[in-house]
Chain A
């Protein structure tokens, strides 16, 4: 089971990296979302996928799944959600101000051109 998820994480990472390397800002943001999806899945996989009850004490089960990575993922999800929201608004504002959403068109380091 871990092996399958590792492959899935690998695919998410590669697609994410491919999208980040593209020219359009929107694709870059989608790439970062895929990357964070991949890493959240990775945290879950890395903690082990042994069978057990969901980590709620009322279930009276003999074994539970590891609750720690779930808390880590939850934290990481809200953080990346906040950052993604900020990134979208930033991209929108950039698009309005510069009139383009293609990263190549931005002239790099205008202070350096002396």
Chain B
């Protein structure tokens, strides 16, 4: 049954609704959300396995044929992203058990958490552009709630900014959908792709493509990331881990989907834009990561760098580069979730988020320190770890296309990432112990360490078994490189 496709959306949705009835029973909320997250991971695994053996799965909701009804499409790219999102969701959920605090838990934290996963999974799976907008809004609404939950001054101030920027970008999204509907008269992505191919992508369709690029660039933090470093500094670290791992990635996914499935006919017009935005994102993100001396901001700028890096794969657009982009995107979801969890643990271990007030953590928290060190190497792309295969494929694809400048920027931004993370390690773990923080520090939440250890295991295994992972990634890359496969699967009789 293809109904399996709807479960990654349905499971967290139903659980989130049920959780609303148990406001005061925090223990029950934790158990239910944990069960639901475990089931989500299982479903995603089964889904990935089935797509691996049977090819693209489609589900016409309500039984209406493809261009007329809403269709859910599970190709390998979507399935892998759903899997990564579920795994990170589980780890962050476990981390929040120990760190989020009873006051927030009582005010529907877990419901909002699960609604966010509904929006993310739905965005990955949908095959309809307006439905994509709706799932974006589901995701964003829960992110507003999670961002402002707790109501500190900083959170309120940053939520206002974040809310405003997302209202504007959502408005532009609807405008772009309106223009697209006016020029081709359909909303289904596969059907859109066929119609755009018939009309030939030129004139107004190019303008719409660039409008979509602006919309998703705003959401993904691609060049238009000015809102991101501030907004992601405000919420508690569990929420920040969820945002850093998932929210921007949905924007990146949409950019890749739109420019490989619908607007791929005129790369001469769209490519320079993507190229410029990817380069600027990598440079500015790298500079930001190096410039700051507090943990949240360093991590936030690291999110931005990786968005630029994945887009670089889309620009190069060779088979290698696309596979590399998929591999790197998957690695990045898991690794960024882990990075923010470890960042949160460092902050709670030292009682401050400023680097100058930290030092000597390695004596009291050796495990945390070495986990952070391994992760830093993985994010830069040191060979046995998961960041390496993606980066290698990306750089190779870029060089094949003769994009020497962009490849150099990619490598250079990796160095900046390395420097920014090792700076945390050097000052926070090796530096002299500060007297202030020894009084403040206590035991680390055990649940958080467990979640982080699980993610770290995935990062290491995905690097070591990259040959196995690659067999899935190349299947995803094949559909992205040949949109006809996607169209045939959706528009079959």
Residues of A at the B interface (CB closer than 8 Å) are 20, 25, 28, 32, 35-36, 38-40, 42-43, 46-48, 68-69, 72, 75-76, 79-80, 82-83, 86-87, 90-91, 93-94, 97-98, 103, 106, 108-112, 114
Contact = CB atoms under 8 A, between A and B. Distances in A.
B164 A32 contact: yes
Contacts of A93: 151, 156
A108 B230 contact: yes
B320 interface: no
B141 A83 contact: yes
B316 to A, nearest CB: 34
Given A43-B178, A90-B156, A90-B163, A20 B168 contact: yes
28 contacts: A20-B164, A32-B164, A32-B168, A35-B171, A36-B167, A42-B174, A43-B177, A43-B178, A47-B181, A69-B181, A72-B174, A72-B181, A76-B133, A79-B134, A79-B137, A80-B170, A83-B163, A87-B167, A90-B148, A90-B159, A97-B153, A98-B157, A106-B157, A109-B230, A109-B233, A111-B296, A112-B294, A114-B294
B154 A39 contact: no
B355 to A, nearest CB: 9
Q: Which of B163, B229, B233, B293 has the most CB of A within 10 A?
A: B163
Q: Is the interface of B mostly helix, strand, loop or mixed?
A: helix
Contacts of B354: 111, 114
Contacts of A38: 171
A76 B293 CA distance: 42
Contacts, number: 101
B350 to A, nearest CB: 15
Contact of B156 (A39, A47, A97, A108): A97
A72 B176 CA distance: 13
Contacts of A72: 130, 174, 177, 181
A68 B182 CA distance: 12
- Top 5 nearest A-B pairs (CB, nearest first) are A46-B182, A46-B178, A43-B178, A94-B156, A39-B174
Given A46-B182, A90-B148, A98-B157, A28 B164 contact: yes
